[in-house]
């Protein structure tokens, strides 16, 4: 009866705990870097990996701007981080990457009110389909084009505050990306195309970091693409309902939590001595080789030129 049910539940829980902790390496504990006097922007900073990244930067004493779309959630996250860290210099500024007009407005406002910028964490990401007001596929614009424009508009400030860094949150999903500069960002039509779009945007992230590093040689602004690990965040809120019962236990077992997912971003933002790896790809807080198409310099340059054209630079 009841006893067996409880015993069974207890065994399952024990098995689950063993599996969860056995399958996942916990991140190494590192000494906190001292970031007082440094200013960071984290896009998509109100939840998931972004919020975990912002929290840790605030703990290190940085001034942190949460650049995110939803004002009530952004304000609440900033308030929560201020309370948790005792760092009063955490603020929300509105940024909707699905609108190039919003990206320009954010950059103008930021440059007007903030004299410094040392860390730009291009973290926001979506996996949902759809088309933006600018006529691009939603994941491609939010994950790549909007961040591309944002980075360009803030580059002078990053250079004047150097040494500074740009961290671009990519994904191992870049391995399935296929980029054709002539059809870049075009809204998809086929059934599985939203997933393809997501993968394409992540390949663009890795190539963006690569080409940006080439163009920034000698400036003391460095950039890194990171794979955060498969993290159980709201990115997966668009999983179809029928898949959720299958997906959620797997997500809990195999996916990292947001704080673990933030580790590689934080490593690339703050670890000393990474300058010589500018433009490279990191996962598990270690340098890794991305897939071959993510190392194609001709494709990186073509993507850059097409991106400039599409965002009107």
pLDDT in tens, 201-229: 999 999 999 999 999 999 999 999 998 86
Backbone angles phi, psi at 111, to 5 degrees: -65, -30
- Grouping H, G, I as helix, E, B as strand and the rest as coil, residue 177 is coil
State the Cα–Cα distance between residues 101 and 98, nearest whole angstrom.
9
Residue 245, domain member (yes or no): yes
Residues 60-91 pLDDT 10s:
999 999 999 999 999 999 999 999 999 999 99
pLDDT band at 22 (very low <50, low <70, confident <90, very high): low
Per-residue DSSP letters for 222-291? EEEEEE--SB-SGGGGGS-GGGHHHHHHHHHHHSBPHHHHTHHHHHHHH-TT-GGGTT-EEETTEEE---
Show Cβ contacts of residue 137 under 8 Å, excluding neighbours closer than 6 positions: 129, 130, 131, 185, 186, 187, 188, 197
**CATH number of the CATH domain containing 288:** 3.40.50.720
Report which DSSP code applies to 88. Answer: -
Residue 150 or 243, more confident? 150
Residue 1, domain member (yes or no): no
Backbone angles phi, psi at 133, to 5 degrees: -65, -20
Q: What is the mean pLDDT of residues 93-101?
A: 98
Q: What is the mean pLDDT of residues 303-310?
A: 96
Residue 26, domain member (yes or no): no
pLDDT at position 155 over 70: yes
Domains in the chain: how many in total?
A: 1
pLDDT at position 175 over 90: no
* Least confident window among 43-47, 67-71, 201-205, 307-311: 43-47
* Least confident window among 68-77, 117-126, 216-225, 241-250: 241-250
Asked whether the beta carbons of 268 and 226 are under 8 A apart, the reply is yes
Give the pair of three-digit tokens for residue 269: 């933002």
Residue 13, domain member (yes or no): no
Residue 180 or 253, more confident? 180
Residue 108, domain member (yes or no): yes
Residue 164, domain member (yes or no): yes
Q: Given this model, what pLDDT does residue 30 score?
A: 65
Q: Given this model, what pLDDT does residue 232 score?
A: 47
Q: Given this model, what pLDDT does residue 23 score?
A: 55
Asked whether the beta carbons of 144 and 201 are under 8 A apart, the reply is yes
Backbone angles phi, psi at 168, to 5 degrees: -110, 115
Residue 4, domain member (yes or no): no
State the Cα–Cα distance between residues 159 and 148, nearest whole angstrom.
16
Backbone angles phi, psi at 4, to 5 degrees: -65, -40
Nearest to 51 by CA among 260, 258, 282: 258
Active site residue 198: yes
For residue 78, give Cα distances in angstroms to 16, 30, 39, 103. 34, 24, 15, 20
* Least confident window among 12-16, 236-240, 241-245, 280-284: 236-240
Calculate the average pLDDT of the chain.
87
Q: Structural domain of residue 85, as residue ranges? A: 35-311
**Checking DSSP bridges between strand 164-169 and strand 286-288, what pairing results, if any?**
unpaired
Residue 14, domain member (yes or no): no
163: preceding bond cis by omega (within 30 degrees): yes
């Amino acid at each position: 009866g009841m006893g067996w049910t409880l015993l069974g539940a207890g065994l399952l829980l024990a098995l689950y705990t063993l599996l969860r902790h056995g399958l996942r390496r916990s991140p190494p504990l590192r000494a906190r870097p001292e970031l007082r006097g440094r200013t960071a922007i984290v896009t998509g900073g109100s939840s998931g990996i972004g919020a975990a990244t912002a929290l840790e930067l605030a703990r290190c004493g940085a001034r942190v701007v949460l650049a995110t779309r939803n004002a009530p959630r952004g304000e609440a996250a900033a308030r929560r981080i201020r309370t948790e860290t005792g760092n009063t210099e955490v603020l929300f500024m509105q940024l909707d990457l699905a609108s190039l007009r919003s990206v320009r407005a954010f950059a103008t406002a930021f440059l007007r009110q903030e004299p410094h910028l040392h860390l730009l964490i291009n973290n926001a990401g979506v996996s949902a389909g759809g088309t933006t007001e600018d006529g691009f596929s939603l994941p491609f614009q939010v994950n790549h084009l909007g961040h591309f424009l944002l980075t360009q508009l803030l580059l002078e400030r990053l250079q004047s505050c150097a040494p500074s860094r740009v961290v671009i949150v990519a994904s191992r999903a870049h391995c399935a990306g296929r980029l054709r500069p002539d059809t870049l960002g075009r809204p998809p039509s086929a059934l599985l195309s939203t997933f393809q779009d997501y993968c394409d945007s992540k390949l663009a992230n890795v190539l963006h970091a690569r080409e940006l590093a080439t163009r920034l040689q000698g400036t003391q602004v460095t950039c890194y693409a990171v794979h955060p690990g498969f993290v159980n965040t709201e990115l997966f809120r668009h999983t179809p309902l029928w898949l959720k019962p299958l997906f959620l236990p797997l997500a809990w077992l195999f996916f990292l939590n947001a704080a673990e997912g933030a580790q590689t971003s934080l490593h690339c933002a703050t670890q000393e001595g990474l300058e010589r790896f500018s433009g490279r790809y990191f996962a598990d807080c270690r340098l890794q080789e991305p897939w071959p198409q993510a190392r194609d310099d001709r494709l990186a340059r073509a993507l850059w030129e097409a991106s400039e054209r599409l965002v009107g630079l």
